Amino acid sequence: MKPGEVFYYADEFNVSWMPTLRAMWSPIGQQVMIPTPKQPERRYGLGAVNYQTGETVVLFRRRKRRQEVAELLEALLDKHPNEIIYVVWDNSNTHEDDEVEAVVRAACGQIVLLYLPTYAPWLNPIEMLWRHFRREVTHCELFVTLKELLQASQAFFDRYNQMPQQTLSVIGATQTN
């Protein structure tokens, strides 16, 4: 990348109050019991990871519609007011709409959207960060309230923003200067 350019991979992910389950050890013949909420609620994360530095920008919202996707682009523009921002993401219909187009037009060439093929998550390295997030935050874990889940989720990304080299390792990138 040239000086004054940044490169992000972006996507959305589910933050479910219902614990995600994974294989775990237990004594033979005894099943591990994971408590679950009576009425699971869901929130969504919309995020982007800088492929050069490992920094993330993540928003948590009630929905993941076009409006929220436009908010993510605006957050990237706020973070990089004087740089050209390349955003790579999938061909979801929420990534192409009047609200998203309005942000791109208002940025006057400062933001460039690049699209991956539909149904090809293995091409987007941010999927590995989402998997890592679930492993550390939500697997086999029940939070007493949705607020606690969202706080733990934000804390995960805040912690990884403090050690961007680890984020780069998770997504399979190397830091460039």
pLDDT digits over 89-136, tens only?
Answer: 988 877 778 899 999 999 999 999 999 988 888 999 999 999 999 888
Is the pLDDT at 39 greater than 90, yes or no?
A: no
- Taking the C-alpha atoms of residue 38 and residue 4, their distance in angstroms, rounded to an integer, is 49
Which pLDDT score, from 0 to 100, does residue 154 have?
A: 97
* CA distances in angstroms from 120 to 27, 89, 151, listed in the order given: 38, 10, 30
Most confident of 11-15, 31-35, 42-46, 50-54: 50-54
pTM, full prediction = 0.85
Q: In what helix (H) or strand (E) does residue 44 lie, and over which residues does it extend?
A: strand 42-50
CATH 2.170.190.11 assigned to domain 5-22+38-166? The reply is: no
- Taking the C-alpha atoms of residue 47 and residue 9, their distance in angstroms, rounded to an integer, is 8
- Taking the C-alpha atoms of residue 130 and residue 134, their distance in angstroms, rounded to an integer, is 6
